[in-house]
Amino acid sequence: MTVTLVNPDGLPRPDVYRQLSIATGSKLMFLAGQVARDAQGRPVGEGDLAAQVEQAYLNIGTALAGVGGSFDDVADLTIYLVDWTPDKMPLLGEGVARAAAKLGVDPVKPITLLGVAALGEPDLLVEIEVTAVID
């Protein structure tokens, strides 16, 4: 494995993400923000945050596999959510859990969560970008 996840002593120990990743490897991958579009570019989960999160994570898995990587290689995720409020956390978690089950991965990584006013297209509720290290 090229990425080790850590919650250092002296920092909070959240259940849904890790504070830090230590990456060793020779190939960095910076994945553009993934959204709720299928392989043909069709919208998935219109108005359904959990479905859109799930599709974005599935797209991440597809991109990683396409370059010889896996979700284990992910060092960091940045999640952009439209009109974010804390009451949407269960829907975010549901989408992540469904994708993780389909991909057979542990989705707990260092994550930055940002609330935004809008994304590139009006039907999008979430966009997720990834940095990974692949040996």
pLDDT at 1: 53
pLDDT at residue 5, rounded to an integer: 81
pLDDT at residue number 20: 81
For residue 36, CA distances in Å to 5, 55, 57, 88, 129 come to 27, 5, 9, 17, 13
Residue 27: per-residue pLDDT: 83
Q: What pLDDT does 84 receive?
A: 97
Enter the pTM of the model.
Answer: 0.86
* Partner residues linked to 78 by β-bridges: 112, 129
CATH of the domain at 49: 3.30.1330.40
Helix ranges restricted to H, 4-135: 49-66, 89-103
Return the pLDDT at 90: 97
Low-confidence ranges of the chain (pLDDT < 70): 1
Please give the residue range of the domain that contains residue 58.
Answer: 3-134
